[in-house]
Amino acid sequence: MAMPPYVRHPTADEIPAFYEALARASDLPLFLQNYVAPVGTPMSAQLVARLLRELPTVRYLKEETQYAPQMMTRIKELAGDALEGMMGGMAGRYLLDEFARGACGTMPACEVADAHAAVWASLDAGDEPRAREQFRLLLPLLDYEAMYSVAVYKEVLRRRGVIATARVRSPGTPVLDAGNHRELDHILAALAPLLTADHS
């Protein structure tokens, strides 16, 4: 999986050369990661579809730009059979819409992968009402993560016994205070029925 360079954002004319070099370097299937600015270098639906059609190892898409579900629909229309699969990301916030538009999976952060898997399994089984109820339980955590980012991911992983410490090395990352921990207590208690993975 690769997104376009992002230290110096390339132009739309420069991006194909990057993916051509990756395609020449390996015959492994390649995921395009289309990620929102300012961190990412967002690509248009037309450019993504062109890369999928013209480079044989480029087969999959992880779509994370603004209005990602609409982008998925447009890229699918433009790329046709050259697109073998597409996934969303963005913490799985748009999973329901992405599934309805043909996504074959989602790639959120890993702290509650079992909860995301439960929602996906319900969708896959054709039980949309159950999926929506499960997603309703998941959404408060996704909203909280949108504010505090990695600090919440790591604290949830620590609480679940996956890692020993929630320390974050990135400068500027917020430190969770007592109020945050209280709120996480409530959020995770409500989400508990979907947290089935045993990390002990």
Q: Is 21 helix (H, G, I), strand (E, B) or coil?
A: helix
Beta-strand pair 58-64/85-88: parallel
Query: For residue 200, what pLDDT is reported?
Result: 53
| d(C-alpha 156, C-alpha 163), whole Å | 9
- Confidence grade of residue 199 (pLDDT, cut at 50, 70, 90): low
Residue with tokens 């990602």: 68
Mean predicted confidence (pLDDT) in 32-58: 95
The whole-number pLDDT of residue 43 equals 96
The two structure tokens encoding residue 59: 């087969």
Tell me the mean pLDDT in the region 85-114.
95
The C-alpha atoms of residue 12 and residue 190 are separated, in whole angstroms, by: 45
Q: What is the per-residue pLDDT across 1-14, written as a single tens digit (0 to 9) for each?
A: 999 998 888 999 99
Q: Is the pLDDT confidence value at 126 over 60?
A: yes
Query: In the predicted model, what is the mean pLDDT of residues 41-68?
Result: 96
Q: Which residues are 85's β-sheet partners?
A: 60
Region 1-108: CATH code: 3.20.20.70
